[in-house]
Structure 1
Amino acid sequence: MKILRQLWNQKGLDAAVENVPEDRYGFRNIAENISRSILSLPQEASNVIGIEGAWGSGKTSLLNLILKSLFSTRMDTRMYCMFPHG
């Protein structure tokens, strides 16, 4: 069990993708398309976007890639996580 826990905690097995070169899920194009969709939303109102999926399906990785794309446009972007990490 100790070995399994060590493997599980190593970066790469359970760590979210942070940058495009790390994209092991092939989410780059999806993230760019979502970013373009977000940028085309009306600016007059607040917008909320959610990502839903099973544990380990890459939600955080996709979100990180979307945020990287949005940050590159200098758009005012904020992320709120409903669940505490720790």
Structure 2
Amino acid sequence: MRALALILPLALAACVEGETPPDPGKSDPPLPPETACGAPDLQHLRGQPQAVLQTMKFAGPLRIIHPGQAVTMDYNPARLNIEIDRAGLISRISCG
């Protein structure tokens, strides 16, 4: 019985995969700022009708989201998201 008590922890330890220690010479790339898509500069559009977007040009990817519309959950810091409410007004502007 004592032999089993000594062997069991060793067997369990063999099943656990250890984490690889971080490489001190390699660092993670910095995360892009939440402003990468230019959303902060467009906050003045909140409350405006969606039609105002037709007169504008956007440099990067743009996603206009209507109520109830399905959207992908992938995150793209350069993509500008503009959400439209049920009244057809711009309700939110964000990156992602």
Give the number of the structure whose alpha-carbon radius of gyration is greater. Answer: 2
TM-score of the superposed pair, with normalisation by structure 2: 0.27
The structure with higher relative contact order (CA 8 Å, sep 6+) is: 1
Higher strand share: 2
